[in-house]
Structure 1
Amino acid sequence: MPPKKSNRNNCEDCKKEVGSDDKALVCCVCEKWHHINCQHVPMDDYKFLTKSDDSIQWYCKSCRGASQKLLKMLTLVSKRQDQLEEEVKKYTVD
């Protein structure tokens, strides 16, 4: 469930205050608030996200791209590590 909004939070996009009655989400990466209209989040998605538990994460547009790049890079590193471990096994004696 998203953290409670306080009056001290501003939308990262429009810089306006995110009030307790505003429809807004906090990004799981940058931890900044965003009005759903500013991020073009459909109402159905917003309702789903606010009713879900912490296993569902939401990323703002800025963090989404960076997160995807990082995930791709980590996947490549993991594959390369697996390849190297297989190579090392060839040279180790049981």
Structure 2
Amino acid sequence: MTVTESERARLIARVHGHVQGVGFRWWTRSRALELGLVGSAANLPASRVEVVAEGPRENCEKLLEALRSGDTPGRVEHVAELWMEPKGGLTGFVER
């Protein structure tokens, strides 16, 4: 069964806490690749990381759950989420 465009999603998650300099972006990339997602994890000012992921909505939800799990490197205090239609054009999952 193939995933139709309506079953695909774009997740933008802003992760707040002690998430820079602790391997958080690498860990996020690993989880995203395991779930077959494309996108990026990038440092933002104020010790935040922005995660952009596209793929099957169910897998994006699993990534969001992992970000909130307490099993991440560092310490996640809050994850703000925004859901959008996928834009496409992404390949792989990169750390920025």
Q: TM-score band, normalised by the shorter chain?
A: under 0.3
TM-score by length of 1: 0.26
Q: Choose between structure 1 and 2 for higher RCO, CA contacts under 8 A separated by at least 6 residues.
A: 2
Q: Which has the larger radius of gyration?
A: 1
